[in-house]
Structure 1
Amino acid sequence: MLTDRIRYIIRLKDSHHKLAFSFSIGVFIGISPFWGFHTMLGLIASWMFRLNTFATISGIYLLPFWSLLPLYVFSTWIGIKSLGAEYLILNIKMENITLPHIFFIIESLFLPFLFGTFIIGSLLAFLCYIFIYLNIKQKEMS
């Protein structure tokens, strides 16, 4: 399924840069924490920046839904390490978990979560840009 989408993107008649950039913007949006708005954000980005809509939407749905939870946990950890906020993890004590305490934990982890998803999303978008661009170049040469 994923390989079929990538093969189709490579065959599209658009510039190498535009296709690779469209796909990578889609990957970045797909990793963003704006649940429920990914498709709308992809369509808006495609329209605003004149991207290839199919490549952008394909990038958004690159990762299966079930993989987002581990990715978001990892992104939050990256955000905590990047911001130097290790004290947030040390302050979580399971014996006094109450609903207000859970909301406090979520609130305190929100900024590291946003920062971490930005870092991971940017990195994956960059890698996907290179991957798609090189595959389009290789197809053109053959």
Structure 2
Amino acid sequence: MTLVITAVDTLEQVHALRRAVFIEEQGISEADEWDDLDSVAVHVLATLDGVPVGTARLLQNGPVGRIGRICVAKPQRGTGLGADLVRDGIARLSARPGITAIRLGAQVYATGFYEKLGFVVCGPEYDDAGIPHHEMELTL
């Protein structure tokens, strides 16, 4: 099996994955999922033997990079793909000049996952689309 993570320009497969995971599985409303940041983000797509299995989007605001909308198709969870997506995002963002930190909004249940990748909680718990989250940061 061949796993490939690449930046993509077309969002059809990215949006299909996000719809399946966030809207259908987690019950997030379409209004909360779709925003104007998709048009300015870099989107990475993970494929396994050509089949889309995960995605994330990368943004930058001054010296802070942001990894968001990280999702993995249900059959691929627990395989390390989520960590691969985050590490790919870290590599892409840290290669940009001037970025000193990378942030993400983690669902509270997943904070341990991100801590293993070097992120630390840097803010109070907050609600995002009805799901408790923590802001987390990785200092470069």
Would you call these one fold, judging by a TM-score over 0.5?
Answer: no
Higher Rg: 1
- TM-score, length-normalised on structure 1? 0.26
